[in-house]
Structure 1
Amino acid sequence: MRRRDALAAGGLVLSLSAGCLETLEREDAWRELVVDPPDGVYVPPKVDEMVSYGTETVDGRTLSLAATRPHSFWTVTGTDRARADVRNYHAIHLMASAHDAETGTVVPTSVTTTIRSRDERVDERTLWPMLSQRMGFHYGDNVPLDGDGRYVATVRIEPTSADVADGLDDRLETATTVDLEFDYAADEIEGLERRLIDADEGRGDAGAVEPMDDRDDGDDDHRDRLEELAESWIGTATSGDLEFSLAVIEAERGRDVLAVLPRTRHNRYPIPFAALSVAPVRGGATGRSVSLGERLGADLGHHYGTAVERRVLEGADELAVTVDAPPQVSRHEGYETAFLDPEPATVDVDLE
């Protein structure tokens, strides 16, 4: 085991006058529709349509590129967040999704883009890892372009930072580069549909909009697979907007492996780039915690895990899962206040 075409964004239409719509088309004016968001996942005020810039499969990884209007988002450093605002030179919000081609597993890694037009470099950057309620985990940023025309985006996907198993290491532990050509037209981006969500339909309330119908993250059935593969199924614990499924799976070097699948509560998205630990609890006293490593597997997809001695688990009444550092991923609206300081999640242990 080693380390490392238009897409309708959907939503609910808010009936507004033409003048109000024009006001809300201005970037960030619509934020006033949710003045005081809750501390957690909430239904955002709008969703935007996207345009596809193509998909390529190279070296066992599938890379998809898409764009929408430039918009603000929040970066996360430790437990602090900061808003990244739109600048007048931003032409698009560029989004890249990287998956294992065979299993659809999301790949936590570093993704850089170099954009050229007429053989001249227009922009080069490392994209932010991101979470959005429609796309789930992806990479993105607001980027400038040099007017309408044909562009070539060279996307470099670095080796994954997660531990890799189940034969994925031969295609996820090396870097790969993908070239995607796309045509940019400012009118097309400005004309993308923006659908506003009515307050009567939950705008600003705890909850989330539905994910894209064609999402390819392969995570809907990973909890079921964990339960099927488990030598001992432990259970599911919830803390705020996160769910943790726990099980003991196959032995590794003579020791059992405790696998933990964290997912967002509403859309069951994986949570990369977090720091998790687990500790046994007996008689109300919490024992020594053990750090969980980020992992990728053909059956379990993205998860966290560690080798443990079974006697430690059998001697516990409960297991407590702690988020030692929240996922270091940027957030689209609706996620910016979530997953920053969750309480430990506990689950009863019965391995007899």
Structure 2
Amino acid sequence: MDRRSFLRAGSAGALAAVAGCLGGLETQSTRAPPLVEDRPDAVYYPTHLEGMEMVGMAESGDYAFGLMYSYPHRFWNINGSSGSMTPIGSDDDVHLMSAVWDPETGMILPDTGLTVEIYQGESLVSQEAIYPMLSQPMGFHYGANFGLDGDGDYRVVLSVGAMSTRRTGGFADRFGEPTTAEIPFTYSQSARDELMYRTLDNAGDPGAVEPMAMEMIPDSLAPSEDELPGTVRGAP
């Protein structure tokens, strides 16, 4: 099954195969160090960190979209309790990432079946249904590696389907219709290669890097205890 068919298979499949966009867990550019040897069966510091560039934002229908890019990444596909690594392809130029959220509440939205089309002029360069992903610095988002036709101006068309997730309260009658947004994207390899890249001396140690400040995109973090309603009974 290809990515487009998989992500349209429904929320159960989507939740069972959240990909690990390890741009902070385990990322890879052309300079990526080897994987941590004897990786612990726990959360651990990555081999390196990479920066990202904000491309732009758009709103359409009930949805807001943000588009970012970084170096091509290796990442893990998680299916149930098993995982497999997706390496960088020889033609991959960027790791394109998108966040989708409710502009009224700032709630990051899962299970949108997000599809990306990249055009240069009127020519279609690439088209993918991209993975739901988790990373230590970014939290939940969507992402995949893409090849481009060199430096230049592109336009990225982001499309979501009707969400199949059960929605209640103020969300009950929303996010039921598909919509499309378009964001222009100017790419140059030299600009990509200027993104931050830093190796970590404590790779493999238990722990995690701090979440990055997403100034224009809502955080996909759980609220603090002080912000939760009701009474907090304990913390794991």
For this structure pair, what is the TM-score category when the shorter chain's length is used for normalisation? Answer: 0.7 to 0.9
- 1:273-323 CA distance string (max 9 Å, x none): xxxxxxxxxxxxxxxxxxxxxxxxxxxxxxxxxxxxxxxxxxxxxxxxxxx
d(CA) in 2 for partners of 1:222 and 1:115?
38
More strand by share: 1
TM-superposed deviation, 1:226: 4.5
| Aligned with residue 173 of structure 1, among 161, 165, 176 | 176
Gaps spanning 5+ residues in structure 2: where? 1-9, 12-23
> Relative to 1, partners in 2 of residues 1:58 and 1:195: Cα closer, same or farther, differing over 3 Å?
same
Q: Is the CA contact (8 Å cut-off) linking 1:61 and 1:171 kept in structure 2?
A: no
**Residue 115 in structure 1 maps to residue 118 in structure 2:** yes
> Relative to 1, partners in 2 of residues 1:188 and 1:63: Cα closer, same or farther, differing over 3 Å?
same
- Specify the code of the residue in structure 2 equivalent to 1:57: E
**Residue 204 in structure 1 maps to residue 207 in structure 2:** no
| Aligned with residue 78 of structure 2, among 76, 79, 99 | 76
Q: Is the CA contact (8 Å cut-off) linking 1:90 and 1:144 kept in structure 2?
A: yes
- 1:31-70 CA distance string (max 9 Å, x none): 25x2122112111121111111101122232110000010
Gaps spanning 5+ residues in structure 1: where? 5-10, 12-23, 239-352
| Aligned with residue 85 of structure 1, among 64, 73, 87 | 87
- Specify the code of the residue in structure 2 equivalent to 1:211: P
Q: Percent identity?
A: 33
1:94 equivalent in structure 2: 96
Which SS does the other structure have where 1:188 is aligned?
helix
Which SS does the other structure have where 1:167 is aligned?
helix
- Specify the code of the residue in structure 2 equivalent to 1:169: A
> Relative to 1, partners in 2 of residues 1:234 and 1:224: Cα closer, same or farther, differing over 3 Å?
closer
Which SS does the other structure have where 1:108 is aligned?
coil
d(CA) in 2 for partners of 1:71 and 1:193?
14
d(CA) in 2 for partners of 1:204 and 1:218?
24
Q: Is the CA contact (8 Å cut-off) linking 1:103 and 1:218 kept in structure 2?
A: no
d(CA) in 1 for partners of 2:57 and 2:51?
18
d(CA) in 2 for partners of 1:223 and 1:61?
28
d(CA) in 1 for partners of 2:64 and 2:224?
20
d(CA) in 2 for partners of 1:183 and 1:92?
12
> Relative to 1, partners in 2 of residues 1:45 and 1:220: Cα closer, same or farther, differing over 3 Å?
same
- Consecutive aligned runs of 4 or more in structure 1 exceeding 4 Å deviation: 222-226
2:62 equivalent in structure 1: 60
| Aligned with residue 233 of structure 2, among 226, 232, 235 | 235
Q: Is the CA contact (8 Å cut-off) linking 1:45 and 1:204 kept in structure 2?
A: yes
TM-superposed deviation, 1:227: 3.2
d(CA) in 1 for partners of 2:79 and 2:220?
28
> Relative to 1, partners in 2 of residues 1:130 and 1:25: Cα closer, same or farther, differing over 3 Å?
closer
- Specify the code of the residue in structure 2 equivalent to 1:163: R
d(CA) in 1 for partners of 2:147 and 2:211?
27
2:4 equivalent in structure 1: none
Q: Is the CA contact (8 Å cut-off) linking 1:107 and 1:160 kept in structure 2?
A: no
| TM-score normalised to structure 2 length | 0.80
Q: Is the CA contact (8 Å cut-off) linking 2:29 and 2:73 kept in structure 1?
A: no
1:146 equivalent in structure 2: 149
TM-superposed deviation, 1:159: 2.1
